[in-house]
Chain A
C-alpha cells in the first residue's frame, strides 16, 4: 500500500480517541516509537499495535476496532485530495455534501468527512454502523437490567471510609523508635511498642423504604449489609435506620418499618465525626415536585447538620431524572450523587471529610 502513512494515521487516531481512552502525549510518543521499531508497517499490524498500547479493556478494544476503518478512510481520502491546508476541518468540496446520519454527537465532527469514500465502495457502509455500536455501549444503564452498582464495588468503596486511631492493644513493634531509643541510651533494654490502629469511623445509614423505593430494595439491602459486615468499619459503629419518603419524628430500625425509635435519640448519638449517608430517590423516581416533601427533607437535614457535616445523599435514579422533581431542590442543599460506582465513591469522599468541591448543577 503506497499511500499508507502510519504517522499520519496515528495522529488522526490519537486526536479522535484521546479523551475517550484518557491518553496523554506520552502514549502518542510511544506509538510513534513503536512505528520506528517496525511494529506498524502494515495497516493491520498498526491497528494491533495501537490496540495494545491504547486500549485497556475488551470494551475499549471493540470500540477501537469499530472506529479504525473510518480513521483509515479519512486519512487516505485526505491524501488523495491534497487539501491546501492539511488541518483545515472542512475542505470546500464538502460544503454541499449533506451531513451523514450520525447519531453519536461525540463522533460527529470526524465522521463528517466520510462522504469522500465514494471511491472505496466496500467501506461505504461502515461509518453508519459504527455509531450504533457506540451508542449501545454508552447507554450502559439500560432499564432492562438495572445494575448500576455491584455488591463488590460497594465493599470496595466502603474500605475508604476509615478514620484510623491508634487506640488498640499495645502490640505493634516500632522499629525506628526502638533503634532510636537504643542509640540514645547506648544499650538495649526492650523494644518499643505502639498501639494498634483501629478504624473509628462511625456511620449512620438512613434508607428510604417502600413506595417508589421498592425496586431498589435490593441495592439498599446490599448497601446496609456490606457496610455492616464486609467493610473495614466496626459493626458496632454502623447503624442503619429506615424511613418512608421523609424521615420525620421517628425512624425505624427494621426494613419493615415496624420498630420505631425517635429521631432525636438517634441524632443524640451522633457527633461531628459521624458520617451520614441517606439513600432515597427524593421524589425523582416518580418525578414529583411536592412542597411538603422538600420542606420535610429540609427540616430533617437542618436537624442533622447541627450534629455533623459529613452528610451525603445517594439517589438510585440517575441524575438526568432529578431535573424538575423535588430531588433537584434537595440536591442543592446536600451533596447528592446517583447510585453508581463513581457516585458512591464520591459520597464516601464527602463522608470522610475529603474537601470535595461539589455543587449541584443541572445536567441539562
Chain B
C-alpha cells in the first residue's frame, strides 16, 4: 500500500466513499472525536495493532467502530463477547451435526439429487454454507465468525469490533493474541484450510473493555494500543455532540436554550462528585430527548433551570443511592 492510499480517519462522516462495502454501516454515526482519539485510531490503522478502548459505560467506546467503518466505507463485523465465548467462535464454526444429518437425508433421496450436488461441488468451495450442500465436501459446513470474515476479505480491510472483552473467560484474550499477530492466519481443523489475511487487508481491530472483572493479561495489553475514553465533561464539547447528533439523525434539534440549560444542569450533577454511577453521554442524549419530545411541548428551559429536582431522573440515575439522593426534595 503506498503512502497516498493510506487509510486515515478524520471523523467526518461525509467522506464515505462511493464504493463502500456492503457490510459497511448504512447509517452515519454522529461521533465527535477528540484529537487524541483520532490519533489513536490512525495509529492503530497504520500499525494494524488492536486498539483497546477503556472508559465509563456510555461514553462512546462501541460507537467508534461504526464511525470508523462508515467513514472509510469498510465492512464492520461486530463480535459481542459473552461469558461463554471462545476465541475460536470469532474465527469459524463448524456444523458437524448438519453434515451428519445431510448424509442420512441424502441416503434416502434420489441419486439424481446427489449428482446435482456433486456438480456444484467445485464451484461452491468458497461460499459459506451453500444451499446445495454436499456432505462429501467439508467446506460446505463451515461458517465464518466476525474475525474469520475479516481475514477472508481480499480487496479492503475490515473493522472488527470486539465488544466487552473483559466479560469472556480468563484465557480468551491470550487465545485471541495468537491470531491477531503475524502471520495473521488461522487453520480450520475440520477442512484443513488455512485462512490468511492479505498483507494490505489485515483487519482493523477495536476492542472495548469496562474493566469490570479486573485487568486483562499483560501480554495481551502489550500488543494493544491503549486509549482511555473520557466523558466529554466540557460544555462546548457536549453541545457539539448534541448538534452533530441531531444533524445526522435529521431530527429537529431542541431549542438552543433548553439544550444549554440541560448541558449545564447535567454537568453540575455530573461534576458534584456524589454519584456512585455517573451517567454517560448516551444517557444524557436520552434525557435531552425526553425533555424535548416526551411531552407534546418541550420542557421549559427556565423551569429546568429553577427545578430543584431534575425531571426524568429515571434516565440518569441507575443506582438506588443515586436515585435517593437526587429524587428526594432537599
Contacts and interface: CB of A to CB of B under 8 A. Distances in A.
Interface of A: 22-24, 26-27, 30, 33-34, 37, 39, 45, 48-49, 52-53, 55-58, 61, 152-153, 156, 159-160, 175-176, 178-179, 182, 188, 341
A45 B42 CA distance: 13
A27 B221 CA distance: 11
B214 interface: yes
Most buried by A among B42, B46, B52, B222: B222
A188 B106 CA distance: 13
Contact of A178 (B100, B221, B228): B100
A279 B96 CA distance: 50
A136 B199 CA distance: 45
Contacts of A159: 170
16 contacts: A22-B218, A23-B222, A26-B222, A27-B222, A30-B49, A33-B47, A34-B47, A48-B39, A52-B40, A52-B43, A52-B225, A53-B225, A55-B226, A156-B213, A175-B97, A188-B104
Interface string B218-255: 10011011111000000000000000000000000000
Contacts of B224: 56
Contact of A56 (B49, B170, B222): B222
B36 interface: yes
B218 A39 contact: no
A57 B36 contact: no
Contact of A61 (B214, B218, B228): B228
A341 B52 CA distance: 23
Contact of B227 (A22, A26, A52, A156): A52
A23 B225 CA distance: 13
Interface string B49-72: 100100000000000000000000
Majority DSSP secondary structure for residues of B touching A? helix
Nearest to B36: A48
Contacts of B215: 57
Ranked 8 nearest A-B pairs via Cβ: A56-B221, A56-B226, A52-B225, A37-B46, A175-B96, A52-B40, A156-B214, A22-B218
Interface in B21-61: 36, 39-40, 42-43, 46-47, 49, 52
Contacts of B222: 22-24, 26-27, 56
Contacts of B104: 188
Contacts of B39: 39, 45, 48-49, 52
Contacts of B213: 152, 156
A58 B222 CA distance: 15
Given A55-B226, A152-B214, A156-B214, A39 B100 contact: no
Contacts of B225: 52-53
A153 B218 contact: no
A17 to B, nearest CB: 12
A178 B218 CA distance: 40
Contacts of B100: 178-179, 182, 188
A162 to B, nearest CB: 12
A45 B100 CA distance: 58
A47 to B, nearest CB: 11
Interface of B: 36, 39-40, 42-43, 46-47, 49, 52, 96-97, 100, 103-104, 170, 213-215, 218, 221-222, 224-228
B64 to A, nearest CB: 14
A21 to B, nearest CB: 8
A175 B190 CA distance: 13
B133 to A, nearest CB: 16
A159 B213 CA distance: 12
Nearest to A61: B228
Nearest to B101: A188
Contact of B214 (A26, A56, A153): A153
B46 A34 contact: yes
Contacts of B49: 30
A276 to B, nearest CB: 24
A156 B211 CA distance: 13
B228 A58 contact: yes
Nearest to B42: A39
B174 to A, nearest CB: 15
Nearest to A155: B213
B203 to A, nearest CB: 17
A244 to B, nearest CB: 33
Nearest to A173: B97
Contacts of A160: 170
A34 B226 CA distance: 15
A246 B214 CA distance: 34
A340 to B, nearest CB: 13
Contacts of B96: 175-176, 179
A52 B39 CA distance: 9
A279 to B, nearest CB: 21
Nearest to A39: B43
Given A188-B100, A188-B104, A52 B218 contact: no
Nearest to A45: B39
Contacts of A61: 228
Contacts of A27: 222
B55 to A, nearest CB: 10
B4 to A, nearest CB: 13
B157 to A, nearest CB: 16
Most buried by B among A22, A24, A56, A152: A56
